[in-house]
Amino acid sequence: MSAAGLAPLLALLALLALCAAVIRPTRPSLSFTDTELCLGCICEATSNCNLTVGCVRGLCGPLLIARDYWLQAGSPTVGAARRRGGSDYEKCVQDPTCAATTVKNYIGRYAQDCNQDGRFDCDDVARIHYLGGTQCYLRIEHTGYYRVFKQCMDNVRQFITYDPSFTL
């Protein structure tokens, strides 16, 4: 992924960072940076972070969220009030902030060590998002989604190194 190709991803990470300041998962959680990195790479792996993707075969928005996933996440909405009719789902999952809330709520509900490596981390979050909360233990390494996700994580981590001697 080129530096120019990372620009939309980094912009989404910044947007997701804003919503992370307000939303806190209730189950095992990742650090602030890990959460935003994770959501950004899930977005990259699911839709190439296409913010205008709409709905395709029952999956909607840049994170390709199904209606049942959204329902299990508590049916978050854009803004404070629920609207009449069936548009809450589509509006939410196509809005980056509401879609991130949906994923965080879903992960909060199903948080577990899917790959059985002894910790709950971004790899587990990616598995829960893609395979579902009750099937996250299934093999995923062969999928295009997982290959893109892992490559994204490796690429973005290069920008997130802690150097205590660095000052502005």
pLDDT digits (tens, 9 = 90+) for 114-153: 999 999 999 999 999 999 999 999 999 999 999 999 999 9
Q: Percentage of the chain with pLDDT > 90?
A: 62
Q: How confident is the model at residue 3 (pLDDT cuts 50, 70, 90)?
A: low
77 is a domain residue: yes
CATH code for the domain of 127: 1.10.530.10
162 is a domain residue: no
165 is a domain residue: no
163 is a domain residue: no
Angle at which helix 32-47 crosses helix 96-110, to 10 degrees, equals 110
Q: Tell me the C-alpha distance between 72 and 161, whole Å.
A: 35
Could you tell me the two tokens for 24? 């806190």
Which residue range(s) make up the domain with 134?
3-157
Could you tell me the two tokens for 78? 């854009």
**Which DSSP symbol is given to 55?**
E
pLDDT digits (tens, 9 = 90+) for 56-78: 999 999 999 999 999 999 999 99
pLDDT exceeds 60 at position 4: no
Contacts of 37 (CB under 8 A, 6+ apart): 13, 122, 153, 156, 157, 160
166 is a domain residue: no
Could you tell me the two tokens for 159? 């920008």
96 is a domain residue: yes
Q: Percentage of the chain with pLDDT > 70?
A: 71
164 is a domain residue: no
How many angstroms from the chain centroid is the CA of residue 138? 19
Number of domains in the chain: 1
Q: Whole-structure pTM over 0.85, yes or no? A: no
153 is a domain residue: yes
